[in-house]
Amino acid sequence: MSTKNEKKPFSYKDYYSRIANRTPPSMIRQLLAFTQKEAGIISFAGGLPGYFDTLHIREILDELQKESDEKLKPGLQYGLTGGYLKLVEEEIKLLEKEGIQAERENILNTSGSQQALDIIAKTFLNKDEYVLVPRPTYLGALGAFRQYGPRFVEIESDENGIKPDDLERKIKSFKRMKDLARIKFLYVVPDFNNPTGTTIAKERREEIIEICKKYDVIIIEDSPYKKLRYDGKEEPLFAKLEPDWPGIITLMTFSKIFAPGLRQSFIYCKDTDAVEKFNRIKQNSTLCGSSLDERILAEYLERGFLPTHIENIINDYRPKRDAMLTAMHKYFGGEIEVKKPEGGMFLWPAFPDVDTYKKFPKAIENNVAYVPGRVFYADQKKADKNKARFCFVTETETRIDEGIRRLAEIF
Ligand SMILES: Cc1ncc(COP(=O)(O)O)c(C=O)c1O
């Protein structure tokens, strides 16, 4: 029997910080763990790249191991917080190809754009300040921002990305309330948005920049899929369209065009003071990235392998996108609404009268996985419950057909 003075049992729950308590488990991570355990499952859930240049990566690894300690040792040592200089030089060259003139001081190498999102959130967000996000948007960005306690303002999107008129209307309402300074930034995935696959056209990018400049709202452009274009013409980065305005921060990653396991990516910003702040935040968290992985990527880029590899990825992914679209039409007929994205990794179909979240356990029972649409909305109560994200790049064309067939049986 417990007495009044009896000590409460120890629990870590009494010690967690506000940040820890604001960090719910990521549904995608849980799904991934599950789908990786179950060998028979056909998974359209994770955004897992399906094509790697193992040949050239092995070549570089072999040389690093075999040639001499002098080549290997620096990769085993601590490196610079900003990133291995040769890699940063290669990143400058990549930006140059995008029409952006950068110096070393404009770049911070990060361990995946996910780390970049966390650094940005930590740099700018205080509790109850506002972040403007597309409706819907990348779940991982919502998670990274949410840790710091902001409020989300969702901007309506159509098949061309966020709507400038809704953006301006919502910003103006803050101005009227003299609360503009509490908007910290607008977050966008301009090319082949995760989850919708939509791309913002150049004219709309210009309109968005105009609005953000007018009200001094920082733009975070997060563009992992830009180079995975299967049709149509490439759109310019926001940072290219307005090179003199320092209010744009660009996130680029090698996860989808090289290898996510090596966690290589970078932040570009014209404002060197902001980059220095990002650098200090990163220092406190990891000191530096993986020196070895930075060297592997630098070698890869220096040897000029990337353009051909991107071509190979495109040739692998394009038919997979088409196979998934064909299967969806074949098994769901006119009941499904799905657009053909010009690139990226995802389809975003709408099913009539189906709550994709509620159906999910049944899908897993049938050995097929996707991501229910609601997790991509900052305000899940107002989510489109009949939508879901399907990654088309991981599975083979035969398994894509089989997976969609299995789904049609239970939807
Ligand atoms: C829009 C977007 N941003 C960032 C990331 C994170 O990528 P990384 O592997 O570089 O951390 C992803 C990954 O899927 C993404 O889709």
Residues in the chain, total: 411
Contacts of 160 by beta carbon, 8 Å cutoff, 6+ apart: 198, 199, 200, 201, 204
**pLDDT tens digits, residue range 55-111?**
999 999 999 888 778 889 999 999 999 999 999 999 999 999 999 999 999 999 999
189: tokens are 């995935």
Structure confidence at residue 38 (pLDDT): 65
C-alpha dist (Å) from residue 183 to 102, 174, 211, 220: 27, 8, 13, 13
**pLDDT tens digits, residue range 23-62?**
877 666 666 666 666 668 999 998 899 999 999 999 999 9
**pLDDT tens digits, residue range 321-377?**
999 999 999 999 888 999 999 999 999 999 988 999 999 989 988 999 999 999 999
Structure confidence at residue 3 (pLDDT): 59
188 lines ligand 1 (CB under 6 A): no
**Amino acid letter, residue 33:** A
Domains recognised in the chain with CATH numbers: 12-53+308-410 (3.90.1150.10), 78-302 (3.40.640.10)
Structure confidence at residue 4 (pLDDT): 65
265 lines ligand 1 (CB under 6 A): yes
pTM over 0.85: yes
Structure confidence at residue 334 (pLDDT): 85
140 lines ligand 1 (CB under 6 A): yes
Structure confidence at residue 31 (pLDDT): 66
179: pLDDT confidence band, cut at 50, 70 and 90?
A: confident
| H helix and E strand count, the chain | 15, 13
Which residue has the least CA distance to atom 13 on ligand 1?
47
136 lines ligand 1 (CB under 6 A): no
**pLDDT tens digits, residue range 357-370?**
999 989 988 999 99
Distance 113 CA to ligand 1 centre (A): 5
295: pLDDT confidence band, cut at 50, 70 and 90?
A: very high
Instruction: Write down the mean pLDDT value for the chain.
Output: 94
Please say if the pLDDT value at position 246 is more than 90: yes
Q: Please, are residues 388 and 351 in contact by the beta-carbon 8 Å criterion?
A: yes
Please list the residues that pair with 251 across neighbouring strands: 222, 267
Give the atom of ligand 1 at the shortest distance from the alpha carbon of 116.
Answer: 11
Q: What is the DSSP string of 228-272?
A: -B-SS-PPPPHHHHSTT-TTEEEEEESTTTT-GGG--EEEEES-H
143 lines ligand 1 (CB under 6 A): no
Contacts of 76 by beta carbon, 8 Å cutoff, 6+ apart: 291, 292
230 lines ligand 1 (CB under 6 A): no
Phi, psi of 196 (to 5 degrees): -85, -20
